[in-house]
Structure 1
Amino acid sequence: MESNQMQWQSLSAALEITKSALDPASLGERLGTDIDSLSATGDDLEGIFDELLPKVTPLASELTALRAEGYQVRIDIKGWVESGARLTVPAGVLAQAAELALPLSFTTQANVSTETEDFLSSLGGPPQPEES
């Protein structure tokens, strides 16, 4: 990876558990922890996973049981992006998530331009006929 490539900024990762009619209080009770505490922020994914996984790993058997009950369980990686920004996911991060059978999801946040014409022109389009 070239060092001058733009990367996602303000990274965070969090364990997400979803299901219709989810009761966060009973879920927290079942897991023995506040679900909001199962997150981490930082500048690089390896550091974030180093902080997050010690919180998640002891819950592995309970997370497996939740999946069997129809809950969706994943780690969501979130960051701010600009046009052309990339996110490099190190092999170690992928291996750690796979070891826990936790899929990764990715959420981007971006500043939206209010300049509609700039946005439309960035999309390109068919060439316009020249006026004579």
Structure 2
Amino acid sequence: MTRLAREGLFGSLAKVNLLVCEPFMGKACRKPFGKAKRATHPLELVHSDICGPMNRFLAEVENQREMNLKLLRTDRGREYLSERRNRTLLEMARSMMAQANLPISFWGDTILTAAYILNRVPSKSVPSTPYELWHGRKPNLKG
């Protein structure tokens, strides 16, 4: 949040109050090891699980972006980046539901909200947001 505020992604909003969110405490894991080649363009590198509807996903994305996939990185069936991202989504959703005392019927909306947030927050490895990389413009976080 501090980084987002520093980069001006909150626009003219008043000072953002950066309190510690207790439901998110304890989510930190050990730092990843090794550095891999970073993609610089959409579809340059896609991480995928071996199982799943990858053919449909690739067809839709390649058609939408009018680009072809350059590299598909797998881990021969072991858990890796896509599983880690899914775990992050699940942890965020559980924390949000617990904090707001929401019934299980809000699970789908909470997952979508977590994905929305993650797509608009930069990571340490990439200086811009996934939204910006995909759409070519900064996300509007002004509310």
TM category (shorter chain) comes to under 0.3
Greater relative contact order structure (CA < 8 Å, 6+ sep): 1
TM-score of the two chains, using structure 2 as the length reference: 0.24
Larger Rg: 1
